[in-house]
Amino acid sequence: MFTGIIQSIGRIHEYEARGADARMVITGGGLDFSDVAIGDSIAVNGVCLTAVALTPNSFTVDVSAETLRVTEGFTPGAEVNLEKALRLADRLGGHLVSGHVDGVGTVYRLVPVGESHLLEIDAPRELARYIIRKGSITVNGVSLTVNKVDGARFALNLIPHTLEMTTLKHLTADSRVNLEVDMIARYVERMMQFTNTTDKD
Task: Read off the pLDDT band of 198 (50, 70, 90).
Answer: low
Which domains can be identified in the chain, with CATH numbers?
8-84 (2.40.30.20), 103-189 (2.40.30.20)
Model-level pTM? 0.92
DSSP string spanning 142-178?
A: EEEEEEEEETTEEEEEE-HHHHHHSGGGG--TT-EEE
Residues 92-102 have a mean pLDDT of 89
pLDDT above 90 coverage of the chain, percent: 84
Q: pLDDT tens digits for 175-187?
A: 999 999 988 777 7
Task: Read off the pLDDT band of 103 (50, 70, 90).
Answer: very high
- Res 92: pLDDT: 76
- Res 32: pLDDT: 96
Backbone angles phi, psi at 87, to 5 degrees: -100, 155
CB-CB contact of 43 with 141 (8 Å): yes
Backbone angles phi, psi at 188, to 5 degrees: -60, -45
Task: Read off the pLDDT band of 39 (50, 70, 90).
Answer: very high
Task: Read off the pLDDT band of 197 (50, 70, 90).
Answer: low
113 burial type by CB count under 10 A (0-12 exposed, 13-18 middle, 19+ buried): exposed
C-alpha 145/C-alpha 136 separation (Å) is 5
Q: pLDDT tens digits for 131-163?
A: 999 999 999 999 999 999 999 999 999 999 999
